[in-house]
Amino acid sequence: MTYRGRFAPSPTGQLHFGSLVAAVGSWLSARHAGGQWLLRMEDIDPTREVAGSAAGILAALPAFGLAADAAPLFQSQRRSAYDAAFEQLRGAGMAFACWCSRSELALDGGMHRDGQCVAPANPDRPPAWRLRVPDVAIDFHDALQGPQREHLRQSVGDFVIRRADDAYSYQLACVVDDAFQGITEVVRGHDLLDSTARQIWLQRCLGLPTPAYRHLPLVLDGDGRKLSKSDRAVPVDPASPLPALRQALAFLGLPAPAGAVDVHGLLARALADFDPALLPQCSGRSVD
């Protein structure tokens, strides 16, 4: 089977150092395996989108030498695929309409479990739709972080797959698109490790394959917090890509290649040294 990896940014800001690390880590993994590297723009949530950032990210990646093997997939154009997955879950009795608000759930311990709503059905308001989560332990092996086990009923309960404003959740869209793009290994930041069990459960409910997973250490700021686009982390500069690319490679534990004068030379040397087994195994660290 051909290895297929992907980078799947959300357009909530320009490419910053943390997302560059995820992009480089997934690119190196795909190229090392002799496989393909695909892009997916996760633009399904207009309330979080920053105008111009999708185009900005897509323009920045080639400046860092990261060229994808196919045109990017835009989640904003995938509504009918999410509708079909949703109908499949609803038809199988696995999804249910829910009018419970966060504050109502907070009074009841904060979590929705066993399909038990605290709020009554309200025909005047559209519902959110949740996936019913049974008492099941999801076991998986993360290629970098080791064996994982999550009891989904305890940790997240019945989770939202379609919001009351009609937007599909990241979890549903991600699972449908990883399958559609034929992804064999998901390489992404450690902050998404705790989404993985939900995604594996959704794959099982939908009869979709489960890819391998490798969660890279997160880039933390000096106070130990995640650098994220929505916190307006300083974007990397595509006009001067070498310093950030060197730093991203160093963050991933690769020796600084001497002598490379452009991004392609730098990536080629990094690829020659790359061994996924030698990636740093922590959940996050700050930049040296």
Query: What is the contact surface with ligand GLU in residues (CB under 6 A)?
Result: 8-10, 42, 174, 188, 192
Identify the bridge partners of residue 95 per DSSP, sorted by sequence position. Answer: 131
173, 82 in Cβ contact below 8 A?
yes
Which of residues 42 and 158 has its CB atom nearest to ligand GLU in the complex? Answer: 42
Nearest C-alpha neighbor of 116 from the set 93, 100, 94 = 100
Minimum gap (Å) between residue 90 Cβ and ligand GLU:
24
Minimum gap (Å) between residue 176 Cβ and ligand GLU:
12
Minimum gap (Å) between residue 134 Cβ and ligand GLU:
24
Minimum gap (Å) between residue 180 Cβ and ligand GLU:
14
Minimum gap (Å) between residue 10 Cβ and ligand GLU:
4
Q: Give the total residue count for the chain.
A: 288
Which of residues 79 and 113 has its CB atom nearest to ligand GLU in the complex? Answer: 79
187, 214 in Cβ contact below 8 A?
yes
Q: How far is CA 182 from CA 4, 143, 208, 230, 240, in A?
A: 7, 19, 10, 29, 33
Which of residues 9 and 235 has its CB atom nearest to ligand GLU in the complex? Answer: 9
Which of residues 8 and 206 has its CB atom nearest to ligand GLU in the complex? Answer: 8
CA distance 253 to 277: 11
Which of residues 30 and 174 has its CB atom nearest to ligand GLU in the complex? Answer: 174
237, 244 in Cβ contact below 8 A?
yes
